[in-house]
Amino acid sequence: MRLTFFFLSLYITGAVAVQGQNRLWYDEPAREWEEALPIGNGKMGAMIFGGDTVEEVQFNEETLWTGEPRNYNKKGAYRYLDTIRLLLEQGKQGEAEELAMNEFMGMKSETEDNGPWLERVAAERKKKDGAYTYDFDDASWSKIPVPSYEGWEEVGLEGVDGAAWFRTTFELTSEDLKSDWELDLNRVRQYDYTYVNGHLVGHEQGDGTKRLYTVPKETLREGTNVIAVQVINLAGKGGISGYKDTSIPIGLKNPAGKFISIVGEWKYWMQDSDAPKVGAFQASYQPFGSLKFRFPAGDTQEYERSLDLETGLAEVQYKRAGVQFTRTYFASYPDNMIGIRLTADKPGQISFGLAMETKHEKHRIWKVDEQTLAMTIHVKGGALEGTSFLTVKLDGGTIEEKDGQMHVQGANTADVYLTGATNYRDYKTLAPEYIAPAQAHHHQIKQKTFSKLLEAHQQDYSKLFSRFSIDLGGEAQCSVPTDERLRRFESAADPDLIALYIQFGRYLQIASAREGTHPANLQGIWNPWLEPSWGSKYTTNINLEMNYWATEMLNLPELHHSLFQMIRELSEAGTETAREYYDARGWVLHHNTDVWRGTAPINNSNHGIWPTGGAWLVTHLWEHYLFNQDPNIIAEYYDVIKGATLFFKDVLVKDEQTGWLVSTPSNSPEYGGLVKGPTMDHQIIRALFGVFSESAKLLGKDTALRDSIQTMLPQIAPNQIGQYGQLQEWMEDIDDPENKHRHVSHLWGLHPGNEINTDDAPELVEAAKQSLLMRGDDGTGWSLAWKINFWARLKDAQHTYTMIKMLLRPAGKAGGSYPNLFDAHPPFQIDGNFGGAAGIGEMLLQSHTSFVDILPALPEELSKGKVRGFKARGNFEIDLTWENHQLTKVSVLSRAGKPLKLRYNGQVVEIPTKKNKTYTFDTALNLLK
């Protein structure tokens, strides 16, 4: 067994050495989650911290969410539709939003009466010796960092809602007592009762309300003063949030300008965590648990942790006392398991403790057999539970279970197998008997050798990853740790980091969603928080779609199918939403959905009523067809395409002022409030109608409906150029040149749409460019990624490169990348990774018009390169090479035998092709063979 793995290790190490350009590596363990390395198989994902003494492997299972199957739709909401439209027509946006908020939003989950509970926690404020008083004895209280902008969840109170008390002190001199002071806590989530020296100085509620309280001088003391704050958090993130910009401290200020910071360790007491239920519009993705390894302490040398994109393996290596230790990690799609192997180059050196942990309060850990532990967790306030099984197999040494932990001593190697499952069956039903099949699956897995499991993983993984390769030069930078490369990138060229980033995007897509799984959510498949930002769900006004922009181009078409299955389910759920909200045929999806496939408007009427999410998703079906030329996908989903089209056939209304057909009510995500006729809607609807017309023609169906849709198409409100030369975001010319909002939604027709292009609409291209210049370059991570695609489509090479540099800057207050190359909104959102990979691709190859454009936006910094396995629409597979900024060779494999129209540097060649034949051209596009 050891001999077999010795040769396997040589193979793996050799692969790293040869393919070092596709490798993230670091010379120290991860200190934070955003530094850990991701592995995944579409169903399970894990983050590898790589500790040398304490190692954490935080893991997820794709179907563990809050909530339960339920109806998200408000019955008869369509009765208010005409009134909302009329109010918008009359310019009464505020009234329209108020009516829509009351009558046109989705239904929340169960909400309990919080009155009795609020009275109970208020009792502490009425006690003579309560926690608010100056002399209260808080010596036994725990400590917590204050403020915590992302909630107390990120500093130790995960999954906790309820009432908590916070106390701290500050010092004043006799001179300080001559004036009142102002206490600035900025934001508190959600209610606060704030006391100074036992006197109530302020009480507010609401996350967005600024806490700025006057502290009368009469309440203050020379020497020590006490601040006590009762924070009541009923749902979501809790605590004293302070300022998002952490350089701005919370504290006290007097009229003379003296400032006393109160940032630091406060004492706290959780008074009551049994808060009543608060309804939520949609569910949140949940972490499952963690494996915690504890190794004997010692002096670590030659430490390295890495993620090899060629093999899909993470690895940790280091030396202690002359012994070389290696840990190898992978997530297998064929066997649906996570595997870890621990080895040393000397026998009998593997010793560790291993525990299963979870943040879910309700859980149970038990011993299955001498090698196996199990953990069952229950999601708070929801219907879902999950069970994971953990087996440790040894070569040599001993293993003992004690107090719910595994203890290994003196092994030659140790193999760790982890599986997990939940009682989620589909978006409508649960699977109450899930544990037995989950245990049977684990039993089947643990009968296999690690080598067999690893071999199956690598064969499966490499089949996908190896289709595409990219070399942009600069491989010498591979000797520098990845986090250091990221820090240097803004000031020093590193073309290989760009190549690494696009391949990392492909790796993440393979790891986060596969055929038969759910599609990648806002964080792919990785999430450590019980209260993740935006629920880590599916935001469909760009983020979900952006996750799949690179899929076809970068030669991973199978990975689109998990999204297609979700579209199918959304079309089913969205049929009732279309009926109840619009009295319309077909189906509709608004700006968010979750594992239970909610399709109704959520959050707030000023941005949640946006009916074109389903229409946008339908364009992905057509893109898949264009890239692969297989009509079966259109035949399979034709009813979905038709349903989305019927909805807008029914819902578009004639604008009285212009005579155009418009979408109303809606919004331009996520800016400007509830309106009629946002530009983005009309671009998407035109694309949808085009997809339907071509699909119906392809299949020979619905001639009459196709004709009526073709009649409607030119009546839809067109793109308009405004007073600043910009593409208008709305029907009215009201764009603000100073607006720097992260969304640039009205440029959808430039990318991912194609109606705004340099061949057919040069005047709109210039207007789109002006809109981009007005909006500015900066933005959140996904916004930067979208702008990379925009500037590539505008064929502005250097501006495209500028945006890539901004995306690949260290994460800070604005978007960028974390040390592990995860995209920073901030916080982490995976859409920027996928959108950035797509944008790099668009820089080198475009096929959204009638041409296949070679190197359309090649920046000066990428003077040479070689790419193999690009996909272009028409089912062409393209390899290209360039030197000194000049194309040297391009080869085109025609998979479908379609006509080819190739363009480079103003030269065009147009030829018929034969199926599965390769055509090679030189720099002047002369056909070589």
Residue 501 has pLDDT above 90, yes or no: yes
CA-closest candidate to residue 926, choices 900, 912, 907? 907
Residue 14 confidence class, pLDDT cut points 50, 70, 90: very low
Residues 912-929: b if buried by 16+ CB within 10 A, e if exposed: ebeeeeebebebebeeee
Alpha carbons 830 and 523: distance in angstroms, whole number: 5
Residue 812 confidence class, pLDDT cut points 50, 70, 90: confident
Predicted pLDDT at 5: 39
Predicted pLDDT at 845: 98
Residue 741 has pLDDT above 90, yes or no: no
Residue 207 confidence class, pLDDT cut points 50, 70, 90: confident
Residue 410 has pLDDT above 60, yes or no: yes
Q: Residue 41's CB: how many other CB atoms inside 10 A?
A: 28
Predicted pLDDT at 2: 37
Name the residue with higher pLDDT: 617 or 929.
Answer: 617
Q: How many helices (H) and strands (E) does the chain have?
A: 19, 44
Each residue of 297-333: pLDDT tens digit? 999 999 999 999 999 999 999 999 999 999 999 999 9
Class of domain 117-272: mainly beta
CA-closest candidate to residue 777, choices 745, 804, 811? 804
Instruction: Give the chain's length.
Output: 929
Instruction: Reduce the DSSP state of residue 455 to 3 states and report it.
Output: helix
Instruction: Reduce the DSSP state of residue 529 to 3 states and report it.
Output: coil
Q: Residue 703's CB: how many other CB atoms inside 10 A?
A: 10
CATH classification of 2-67+286-466, choosing from 2.70.98.50, 3.40.190.10, 3.40.630.30, 2.60.120.10? 2.70.98.50
Average pLDDT over residues 837-851: 98
Residue 861 has pLDDT above 50, yes or no: yes
| Strand ranges for 5-157 from DSSP E | 23-26, 37-40, 44-48, 54-61, 142-146
Predicted pLDDT at 19: 40
Each residue of 111-134: pLDDT tens digit? 999 999 999 999 999 999 999 999
Each residue of 881-917: pLDDT tens digit? 999 999 999 999 999 999 999 999 999 999 999 999 9
Predicted pLDDT at 199: 98
> Could you give the count of Cα atoms lying within 13 Å of 599 in the half-sphere of its Cβ?
29
Structure token pair of residue 66: 């809050």
Residue 208 confidence class, pLDDT cut points 50, 70, 90: confident
Query: Mean pLDDT, the chain, as a whole number?
Result: 95
CA-closest candidate to residue 833, choices 590, 550, 639, 603? 550
What is the residue-wise DSSP string for 754-798?
-SS-TTT-HHHHHHHHHHHHHH-S---HHHHHHHHHHHHHTT-HH
Residue 18 has pLDDT above 50, yes or no: no
Q: Residue 174's CB: how many other CB atoms inside 10 A?
A: 8
Alpha carbons 571 and 427: distance in angstroms, whole number: 13
* Chain CA centroid to CA 868, Å: 28
Predicted pLDDT at 616: 98
Average pLDDT over residues 680-693: 98
Each residue of 166-206: pLDDT tens digit? 999 999 999 999 999 999 999 999 999 999 999 999 999 99
Each residue of 196-205: pLDDT tens digit? 999 999 999 9
Each residue of 552-588: pLDDT tens digit? 999 999 999 999 999 999 999 999 999 999 999 999 9
Residue 20 confidence class, pLDDT cut points 50, 70, 90: low
Placement of tokens 């691709």 in the chain: 841
Placement of tokens 């958090």 in the chain: 233
Each residue of 596-607: pLDDT tens digit? 999 999 999 999
Q: Which residues contact 777 (CB under 8 A, 6 or more apart)?
A: 784, 787, 802, 803, 806
Residue 12 confidence class, pLDDT cut points 50, 70, 90: very low
- Give yes or no for a cis peptide into 190 (omega within 30° of 0): yes
Average pLDDT over residues 280-289: 97
CA-closest candidate to residue 472, choices 498, 447, 491? 498
> Could you give the count of Cα atoms lying within 13 Å of 591 in the half-sphere of its Cβ?
21
Each residue of 381-395: pLDDT tens digit? 899 999 999 999 999
Average pLDDT over residues 855-867: 97
Residues 482-506: b if buried by 16+ CB within 10 A, e if exposed: bbebbeebeeebbbbbbbbbbbbbb
Q: Residue 410's CB: how many other CB atoms inside 10 A?
A: 13
| Strand ranges for 311-449 from DSSP E | 313-320, 323-332, 337-344, 350-357, 362-369, 372-378, 385-395, 398-402, 405-411, 413-422
Helix axis angle, 831-844 to 797-807, nearest 10°:
160
* Boundaries of every domain in the chain: 2-67+286-466, 117-272
Predicted pLDDT at 154: 85
Instruction: Reduce the DSSP state of residue 133 to 3 states and report it.
Output: coil
Instruction: Give the helix/strand (H/E) hosting 171.
Output: strand 162-172
The pair phi, psi for residue 741, each rounded to 5°, is -60, 145
Residue 214 has pLDDT above 70, yes or no: yes
Q: What is the pTM (predicted TM-score) of this model?
A: 0.93
Average pLDDT over residues 55-71: 98
Predicted pLDDT at 16: 35
Each residue of 424-463: pLDDT tens digit? 999 999 999 999 999 999 999 999 999 999 999 999 999 9
Alpha carbons 859 and 805: distance in angstroms, whole number: 12
Residue 490 confidence class, pLDDT cut points 50, 70, 90: confident
Residue 705 has pLDDT above 90, yes or no: yes
Residue 732 confidence class, pLDDT cut points 50, 70, 90: very high
β-pairing, 405-411 with 350-357?
A: antiparallel
Residue 7 confidence class, pLDDT cut points 50, 70, 90: very low
Instruction: Give the helix/strand (H/E) hosting 919.
Output: strand 917-921
Average pLDDT over residues 80-92: 98
CA-closest candidate to residue 306, choices 59, 10, 29, 506? 29
Structure token pair of residue 680: 């983005």
